[in-house]
Structure 1
Amino acid sequence: MGLASSLSTALTGMNAAETQIDVLGNNLANSQTVGFKSSDVVFANQFLQTLSLGAAPTGGNGGTNPRQTGLGVQVAAINQNFKQGTVEISSSPSDLAIQGDGFFQVQGGQGEKLYTRNGIFRLNSSNELVTSTGNRLLGYGVDDQFNLRSTELVPLSIPIGTEAVAKATGTVNLQGTLTAKGDVATTSKIVQSTVLGNNSIPRPSGSAVNVQSAAAPFNTSVTLAHTEGGGGTHAEGSVYQYRFTYLDANGTESMASEPLTVTVPGGNASADNTITLNNLPAANSQYSQVRVYRTEPGGSDFFLAGTAAAGGSFVDTDSSSSTTPLDNNGLTGNYTYMVTYYKSGEPESRPSPLLGPQSVVNGRIYLSNLPTPPAPPAEGGYPAYDEIRIYRNLTNDPNSFYLVDTVPPGASYTDSKTDAEISNLALPGNQKVNLDGPAIDSNTLLVNVITRDGLDYSNPFIPGDLSFTARKGDRLLETKSFTVTATSTVQDLLGFMKDSLGIVSDSGDSTNPILSSLNQIPGEGGTIQPNAYISNGALRFVSNTGVDNGVTIDLTSFRLRDANGTVTTPNLGFGTVQEGKGQSAVTDFIAYDSLGLPVRMRLTATMESRTDQQTVYRWYADSADNIERGSADISVGTGLIYFDGNGNFISASNNVVAVDRTGLPSTKPLQFSLDFTALSGLAADKASLAASRQDGSPPGVLTSYVIGEDGIIRGVFSNGISRDLGQIRLARFSNPGGLEQRGQNLFAQGINTGLPIEGGPSENGLGSISAGALELSNTDVGGDLVTLVLASTQYRSNARVITATQQLFDELLNIRR
């Protein structure tokens, strides 16, 4: 080969030096490129010229080595250095650095998968994490419940300001002291309405009834006739006195006339005289009959002698006296009447409006045209009344009405009974009028319910929308609505009100039933179960025991809007008939359903029992936002809480609250547990209860995010909730040096890399991720500069070889001279 080979050999050295300088220049140019991995040039000698293969040792020669001349250098490899670069803190939470092996996986322009160590990521207009060159970062996405979907890699997005989330309450933590001191809750507060009447039973109008002074007869028209031997028994010379009264069809009489003195004439010794009274007091519009009263001969007391037609004659033949005395007691005062329909064994109707008044002085009062009861309908509904009852007030008590008499319908009646006679209720048959009339029952239609204010009656309910707002433990309850229809009954109203008040009758636990209350209402006794009742025509609500469970229904608790928009305030006259008793505590708090809608809650605890070993409280949970189809029930749970003798919480018979959410797309029911473990049963003057924490939250929007070392992207919402938004997945290769560089800090899988090993950070030999940090270029500037000097020296040295060879060629050409 000679000198010619030295030229080619030197040229390979220059080419190798150029390659190394190019690589070193690229390293130094990217010394500030995030995630850049520097490269090293590996040289290998090129082909060799063998002059001799050498010889093996012999007995006379020690052997010779091969004689070979090198023909230059070649670039055997350009190896990338994947050693860890320096990690530097960044101000952006989306800047990421990998500490250890692995690459971020990104999406290429054609959808292919590429790899990079450059961790500068930003959000694009679609809230996707992308590289500086627009490549989307790949990882696991999440479903609509924020659960990681590990089936495929997708571009990761962080929807700041657009994604919303809520969390349903799962647990409510309670704290406070449910003291062992104070009264055990044995007594319920009981509220009761006025007596409510039933308007479907007819009431006498009384409009046609006449009330006037009863006419009294005069004796001035009466003429006398005597008959001797007429078969009478009146002795001659006997002196009698006569008085006359008018008689009505019911056998009641008017006041008597003045006395008429009659002397039996003499002249005949026989005692068979008769006395004939002609022209008796005349009939009038009130009476058609007259009663005749007479004394014994020379006497002063009048006894009934007989009855005759008014204006007619009466023949008195018998001198003996009857046993029926004259009642000539008169009434003096200002009297008013009312009448009712009556049938023995049936409820009496409401009384008519007031009849009268009528003033009288030592007289009697005549009532005529008394009403006739209507026939009951074919389907029933009220009795077939067959009598009329008459009631009258007293002279000294105009507001109390007492029974005077019972008469047939349509009859007339003369009132002669004194105040003392009718007002003595100890006498059989005497009674006061029932102003309320027939009381309601559970089947009474609401539109037939009536209330009484004095002697005025009104219908509090008409078809429309009824709203009801009450109090419980002096705290206002949520307004509930009830639609009054023509078919709504009292029982419907009772059930609605009980549900609205949150009165619990059944604990749902047969081993721990709801505690009954002592009944301390005057005239009653024993115990009574918390519930809604009808008591003698009044609506009665028995609260659960304890002071804070006591319900209050005031004058404005009801509001009724009719079809025309007119609003009235039905007043049922509720009042307290028994106060509640017992140590209790109450707290209000807000829970949240699966949509993040607030659910108002109230928790009340009352001391149910106390023994030598333990204290037991019962909790009641109410929710104004309990939405149950066809019900206004606010009660959503109850149970018992047990404390030992040291005041420590032992257990609870139930700790689950279930709030119905009918009509809403929320998960239903909303169920959450009550954590009583922080409650104390130690002694305190007053029980206390508070909800210290609950884990639900209202809707919130994504405001920020953090990326953990495990690659999980966790979004932080404005309501304080954090949710997984995705996970960054890394990949590594058995031979990362085999990756194909694509520029822009990107690599593609090469034929000599092996398959990518994918996983989460810190899995499968992969490194971890540091958020808010960047991996800097691993270029060794100092070392590369030294190597650059060596490469340039190599280049110059090889250039000198070419120069020397050229000089030798020149000398060779000069030999011919």
Structure 2
Amino acid sequence: MGLASALSTSLTGLTAAETQIDVIGNNLANAQTAGFKSSRAVFASQLLQTMSLGSSPTETTGGTNPRQTGLGVQVAETALNFKQGTIEISSSDSDLAIQGDGFFQVQGSNGERLYTRNGIFKLNSDMEFVNSTGQRLLGYGVDEMFRIQETSLTSLTAPMGSESVAKETSVVTLEGTLTPEGEVGTVAEVIQSVKLGTEAVPRPEGENVSIATSPITQATAVTVNTAGAGTLAAGTYQYRIAYVDSSGNEAVPSGAISATVGAGGRIELANMPAAPGSGSYPAINVYRTDADGTEFNRIGTVAPGGTFVDDGSVAPTATELNMDTLSGNYTYMVTYHKAGEPESRPSVMIGPRNVVNSRVQLSDFPTPPVPPPLGGFPAYDEIRIYRNLANDQNNFYLVDTVSPDETFIDSKTDAEISDLEVSGNQRLDMDGPTISNNTLLVDVLKRDGLRYEKVFTEGTLSYEGSKGGRSLGKTTFEVTSTSTIQDYIDFIEEASGIQIVQGDSANPIPVSENNIQGETGNLVPGGYIHNGSIRIVSNNGEDNALEIDLTAFRMEDKFGNVTVPNLAFGSVQEAVGTSATTDFLAYDTLGVPINVRVTTVLEQRTDSSTVYRWYADSPGNQPLSGTDISVGTGLVRFDGNGNFVSATNSTINIARNDYPSASPLQFDLDFSSVSGLAASKASLAATRQDGSAPGILTSFAVGDDGKIRGMFSNGVTRDLGQLVLARFANPVGLEQRGNNLFAQGVNTGLPVEGAPGENGIGTVVGGALELSNTDVGKDLVDLVLASTQYRSNSRVITATQQLFDELLNLRR
């Protein structure tokens, strides 16, 4: 019985030694496995063979101890050693090491939660962090705004090269010197267009107006008969005759016809000339002097070819004979007219007609059109006739006003019509009726010499002027059939960034002095109509001076045809005021770059302070309506030492209603680094702004707190995720699954999750690995001891075998 138990006892020793050698071999085999945790075999004695439990002391004996013989050894457990392994720097940003307690959490192939200390991770094709066997690293993800979502664990990602991010501007830092020297900005640039007319008012059609040389009345065939009695006084009488048309206009009078009679005589003029043409002159006026006189006055009318009898019974009228004639090359223009209303644009030129000592006859005038039911132009009922001068072909002067159905014979001399000091005389206004605020854009006309051009059509009008010598951003305006001049003026104001609205009642936008010749009073910034021209008043200061050159506007109609509506804006007052300007880019929440311009103008200078006004423009401003590019204004104050004191309304608001980015974009202007010391010229520069354009993810790093932070190509840093580690009250109770993976065991307790550094969990070292905690030296010593144990137990078996042999030899 004893020998048999010795064999089984030795066998347990061999088994224990084999187990210990297996454990030590596994430790040594994983001496280079990152995150590996070594194990040790823990032994316990097996059952005992009890021969006596002993006895307690009595009066006669001192008692005996138990007599028990052990029956061998057993492996009580294979205990994991979770002692910290050495941390070694790695060449990969995705390698992680835990300093302290805790495990990485990964997702098994069937969704099971597994745990590991092996921090070798890499990115798969979906940019997910996975270990070498493909398990996904778990943690908290982020939303579209890169905010960590602590709701549930998910696979962590680092979408290199595909994820993009932008940062909106919040602060712009300005530097420079806003000198108190120079001129205070009290005068604004004023530009003005040519005079503009409207096509809504009709223009007479002069092409069909007849122009001819008036006939000269011939008296050579007229016979004089002085026989008979009458009441004429004795003396010599002179007569002249003149054809008269149906409108009462006279042709050139004839030469003088003389007749001498005695007292109580009479004079008969027979064989009057026939009417020229086809009855256009139905009568002949007869003029006569007094006896031996020289002044001709009308005495009567006779039919062509008839006889006129002057017996003294009819006294001459007060109507004197007009002997005026024209000599020169004359051209006419006509307009529609109604008393008390502005007349129309002039017709095309009628003529020219070259005359020498004659008169010009005009007929077939155009009939004025009937106004539309809703109005639009006056009910014209007259025709005004204008004519140039023999020595001035460019200016036309009013000759007369007639009814449309009349004919007109012009005999007025150049001197008579060109003397503008004479009441009723006037020079022709070539432009005609000028625009008003309600004039439709599609009706606006610009005169080029004697030609009238439509300026606008329905379509898209683009505008890109300049201010202070710097180009403004391009803006557009849709011209429709209902767009008015006021809409156009509002567009120019807004697209030019002219500050009009009083955003700060305590510091209102200043008006400008008026230095325009012949004008008085102040000029308010903005646009308005002045004598038929569009006038634009800029804000004060040289760098606010608006300029609209010949190609600032482009008009594209619905057919794609492009024209350049040049209104010939020119300067009528130059700006005055020391200024400084800076341009910079700001970025909205989508990373869209937005051009911003800040202009400063010296507004006030006292014995103790310097005050500049700043104006901010941005073509990227997108209000709900209109195209206003002005985005802010305020004051900057400096004390007597040139130190910055304060800035008012220093927040800029840029509306972004046409983009899905956050609206408005708001950022502050920081003037604190600007100096108010004296300098030869003012200067301003935007030196820093904290926004950025879109950038792609180029790298990442993991911090001690377990946050994965992505670095983008634009310099912006954003969180990509948060590592969530787990620890157990009894990590030795974890169930090993191979591949350095553990599963929760029945004796581990529930996992305590948290970010690195929380809930007793260790920290994370990015770009590093935890090496195996195998103690090679100790394991080699333990290996020697285990092999010695194995050999020793083998010797016991050998000795027992020999004893069995001796026992078997007893029968021999």
Q: Same fold (TM over 0.5)?
A: yes
Deviations 1:199-244 (A, max 9, x none): 22222222333333333323323333336653x1413xx2333333
Instruction: For residue 676 of structure 1, give the secondary structure of its aligned residue in structure 2.
Output: strand
Where does residue 268 of structure 1 map in the other structure?
A: none
* Structure 1 residue corresponding to 2:693, chosen from 698, 712, 719: 698
Where does residue 645 of structure 1 map in the other structure?
A: 640
Where does residue 291 of structure 2 map in the other structure?
A: 297
Deviates more, 1:572-581 or 1:766-775: 572-581
Instruction: For residue 710 of structure 1, give the secondary structure of its aligned residue in structure 2.
Output: coil
Where does residue 147 of structure 2 map in the other structure?
A: 147
Give me the whole-angstrom Cα distance separating, in 2, the residues matched to 1:273 and 1:331.
38
Alignment of 1:133 onto 2:128 = no
Alpha-carbon deviation of 1:693? 3.0
Distance 1:409 1:767, change over 3 A: same
Extract unaligned runs of 5+ from structure 2: none
Alignment of 1:510 onto 2:505 = yes
Alignment of 1:718 onto 2:720 = no
Give me the whole-angstrom Cα distance separating, in 2, the residues matched to 1:566 and 1:47.
108
The residue type paired with residue 535 of structure 2 is R
Alpha-carbon deviation of 1:815? 6.8
Give me the whole-angstrom Cα distance separating, in 2, the residues matched to 1:129 and 1:312.
127
Indicate conservation of the 8 Å contact 2:498/2:630, yes or no: yes
Where does residue 205 of structure 1 map in the other structure?
A: 205
* Structure 1 residue corresponding to 2:628, chosen from 627, 633, 640: 633
Deviations 1:26-85 (A, max 9, x none): 222221111111223333444455666667778888777666554444434432221111
Identity among equivalent positions (%) equals 60
* Structure 2 residue corresponding to 1:793, chosen from 785, 788, 794: 788
Instruction: For residue 162 of structure 1, give the secondary structure of its aligned residue in structure 2.
Output: coil
Distance 1:24 1:401, change over 3 A: same
Alignment of 1:731 onto 2:726 = yes
Deviates more, 1:60-69 or 1:622-631: 60-69
Indicate conservation of the 8 Å contact 1:470/1:477, yes or no: yes
Give me the whole-angstrom Cα distance separating, in 2, the residues matched to 1:361 and 1:592.
78
Instruction: For residue 182 of structure 1, give the secondary structure of its aligned residue in structure 2.
Output: coil
Distance 1:22 1:536, change over 3 A: same
Deviates more, 1:626-635 or 1:784-793: 626-635
Indicate conservation of the 8 Å contact 2:553/2:564, yes or no: yes
Give me the whole-angstrom Cα distance separating, in 2, the residues matched to 1:300 and 1:348.
42
Alpha-carbon deviation of 1:538? 1.5
Deviates more, 1:455-464 or 1:247-256: 247-256
Indicate conservation of the 8 Å contact 2:139/2:153, yes or no: yes
Alpha-carbon deviation of 1:596? 3.0
The residue type paired with residue 278 of structure 1 is A
* Structure 2 residue corresponding to 1:377, chosen from 367, 372, 377: 372
Instruction: For residue 443 of structure 1, give the secondary structure of its aligned residue in structure 2.
Output: coil
Indicate conservation of the 8 Å contact 1:250/1:407, yes or no: no
Alpha-carbon deviation of 1:462? 3.1
Indicate conservation of the 8 Å contact 2:299/2:314, yes or no: no
Indicate conservation of the 8 Å contact 2:100/2:763, yes or no: yes
Alpha-carbon deviation of 1:436? 0.7
Indicate conservation of the 8 Å contact 2:265/2:311, yes or no: no
Give me the whole-angstrom Cα distance separating, in 1, the residues matched to 2:123 and 2:372.
82
Instruction: For residue 498 of structure 1, give the secondary structure of its aligned residue in structure 2.
Output: helix
Indicate conservation of the 8 Å contact 1:706/1:713, yes or no: yes
Where does residue 256 of structure 2 map in the other structure?
A: 259
Give me the whole-angstrom Cα distance separating, in 2, the residues matched to 1:284 and 1:698.
89
Give me the whole-angstrom Cα distance separating, in 2, the residues matched to 1:803 and 1:372.
146
Query: Number of matched residues?
Result: 809
Give me the whole-angstrom Cα distance separating, in 2, the residues matched to 1:377 and 1:7.
131
Alignment of 1:708 onto 2:703 = yes
The residue type paired with residue 233 of structure 2 is H
Distance 1:774 1:228, change over 3 A: same
Give me the whole-angstrom Cα distance separating, in 2, the residues matched to 1:208 and 1:49.
146
Where does residue 284 of structure 1 map in the other structure?
A: 276
Alignment of 1:499 onto 2:491 = no
The residue type paired with residue 241 of structure 2 is F
Give me the whole-angstrom Cα distance separating, in 1, the residues matched to 2:33 and 2:762.
20
Equivalent positions of 1:278-357 (< 5 A) are 278-285=270-277, 287-310=281-304, 311-317=306-312, 325-357=320-352
Distance 1:364 1:109, change over 3 A: closer
Alignment of 1:757 onto 2:752 = yes
Alpha-carbon deviation of 1:309? 4.2
Deviations 1:247-280 (A, max 9, x none): 4566654444323332214xxxxx4333333334
Indicate conservation of the 8 Å contact 1:305/1:316, yes or no: no
The residue type paired with residue 779 of structure 2 is D
Alignment of 1:87 onto 2:81 = no
Deviations 1:582-635 (A, max 9, x none): 222333333333333333333333333333343333333333333445533333
Give me the whole-angstrom Cα distance separating, in 1, the residues matched to 2:75 and 2:141.
45
Deviates more, 1:407-416 or 1:731-740: 407-416
Give me the whole-angstrom Cα distance separating, in 2, the residues matched to 1:303 and 1:468.
67
Indicate conservation of the 8 Å contact 1:252/1:416, yes or no: no
Alpha-carbon deviation of 1:811? 5.5
The residue type paired with residue 276 of structure 1 is E
Alignment of 1:533 onto 2:528 = yes
Give me the whole-angstrom Cα distance separating, in 1, the residues matched to 2:609 and 2:309.
94
Instruction: For residue 183 of structure 1, give the secondary structure of its aligned residue in structure 2.
Output: coil
Deviations 1:385-439 (A, max 9, x none): 2222221111221111111222222222232222222211111111101111111
Alignment of 1:463 onto 2:458 = yes
Indicate conservation of the 8 Å contact 1:308/1:314, yes or no: no
Give me the whole-angstrom Cα distance separating, in 1, the residues matched to 2:460 and 2:162.
41
State the TM-score, normalizing by the size of structure 2: 0.92
The residue type paired with residue 478 of structure 1 is G
Instruction: For residue 677 of structure 1, give the secondary structure of its aligned residue in structure 2.
Output: strand
Deviates more, 1:293-302 or 1:778-787: 293-302
Where does residue 167 of structure 1 map in the other structure?
A: 167
Distance 1:204 1:126, change over 3 A: closer
State the TM-score, normalizing by the size of structure 1: 0.91
Deviations 1:624-651 (A, max 9, x none): 3334455333333333333333333333
Distance 1:353 1:110, change over 3 A: closer
Root-mean-square deviation (CA, aligned residues, Å) is: 2.9
Where does residue 650 of structure 2 map in the other structure?
A: 655
Instruction: For residue 582 of structure 2, give the secondary structure of its aligned residue in structure 1.
Output: strand
Alpha-carbon deviation of 1:321? 7.6
Alpha-carbon deviation of 1:477? 2.9
Indicate conservation of the 8 Å contact 2:198/2:434, yes or no: yes
Deviates more, 1:799-808 or 1:616-625: 799-808
Alpha-carbon deviation of 1:95? 1.1
Where does residue 383 of structure 2 map in the other structure?
A: 388
Indicate conservation of the 8 Å contact 1:736/1:753, yes or no: yes
Indicate conservation of the 8 Å contact 1:623/1:636, yes or no: yes
* Structure 2 residue corresponding to 1:585, chosen from 566, 580, 589: 580
Give me the whole-angstrom Cα distance separating, in 1, the residues matched to 2:650 and 2:509.
16
Where does residue 266 of structure 2 map in the other structure?
A: 274
Alpha-carbon deviation of 1:506? 1.0
Give me the whole-angstrom Cα distance separating, in 2, the residues matched to 1:314 and 1:632.
82
Distance 1:370 1:142, change over 3 A: closer
Where does residue 233 of structure 2 map in the other structure?
A: 234
* Structure 2 residue corresponding to 1:441, chosen from 436, 451, 475: 436
Alpha-carbon deviation of 1:768? 1.0
Distance 1:24 1:368, change over 3 A: closer
Alpha-carbon deviation of 1:93? 1.0
Deviates more, 1:100-109 or 1:304-313: 304-313
Alpha-carbon deviation of 1:742? 1.8
Distance 1:319 1:117, change over 3 A: closer
Indicate conservation of the 8 Å contact 1:101/1:765, yes or no: yes
